[in-house]
């Protein structure tokens, strides 16, 4: 087992982030890779547009691992990904935080219900895991399937998301946000109302934030 394999109930954000190598183009993050062995991160430029994107990505990933963020605002650049795989990843990006969908479900959304195996290949080749959440894609029978970072990491990420309330409402404004939204962070502790889903928030009379646009 990896020396810093994710704990099933409490991942260590500092250790995880230290093991991630990120690359970017001016259009967005192009790769997120996980180093299993010894060695430091690959040296990358930290100036200009690319540097800004890399810093934002690291900040958002750190917040995600800490349970303080349930969505990513950082753009990704999938321009070098094959068309079918890119389409599968576009569908994957819409899977809500804390939920899972099957390879077959994605294939059906693409209008190719027999292409579950090809969807599995697209998930395996996902260049930006975590930001495009292929860890939320599982087998139809509920099995984990595969994951480029390893199944221990996949299960831990799913457990982290199940343990984190994805939406926070403001009792005074009656507006709810996704966790990690700039508006959510301004809500005072005594006025924070936690919701398991957007439907729960709406049923309770809250309207969605215009900034993070919760589902």
Considering the candidates 134, 177, 209, 212, report the single residue annotated as catalytic. Answer: 134
Specify which residues 169 forms β-bridges with.
Answer: 176, 193
Dihedral of CA atoms 90, 95, 16, 178 in degrees, nearest 10, equals 110
Beta-carbon neighbour count of residue 81 at 10 Å? 21
Strands (DSSP E) found in the chain:
20-25, 28-34, 101-102, 137-138, 167-170, 175-178, 192-195, 207-208
Q: Which residue has the tokens 């390879």?
A: 103
* Residues 74 and 25: beta-carbon distance below 8 Å: no
Active site residue 134: yes
List, by residue number, the catalytic residues.
134
């Amino acid at each position: 087992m990896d020396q810093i394999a994710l704990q099933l109930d409490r991942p260590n954000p500092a250790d995880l982030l230290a093991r991630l190598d990120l690359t970017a183009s001016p259009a967005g993050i192009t790769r997120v890779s996980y180093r299993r062995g010894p060695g430091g991160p690959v040296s990358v430029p930290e100036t200009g547009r690319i540097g800004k994107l890399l810093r934002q990505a690291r900040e958002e990933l750190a917040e995600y691992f800490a349970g303080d963020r349930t969505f990513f605002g950082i753009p990704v650049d999938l321009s070098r990904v094959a068309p079918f795989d890119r389409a599968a990843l576009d569908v994957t990006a819409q899977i809500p935080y804390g939920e899972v969908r099957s390879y077959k479900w994605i294939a059906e959304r693409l209008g190719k219900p027999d292409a579950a195996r090809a969807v599995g290949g697209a998930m395996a080749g996902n260049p930006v895991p975590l930001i495009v959440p292929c860890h939320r894609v599982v087998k139809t029978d509920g099995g984990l399937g595969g994951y480029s970072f390893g199944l221990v990491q996949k299960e831990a990420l799913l457990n982290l998301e199940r343990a984190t309330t994805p939406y926070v409402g403001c009792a005074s404004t009656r507006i709810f946000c996704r966790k990690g939204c700039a508006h959510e962070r301004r809500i005072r502790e005594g006025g924070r109302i936690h919701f398991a889903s957007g439907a729960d928030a709406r049923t309770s009379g809250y309207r969605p934030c215009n900034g993070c646009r919760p589902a």
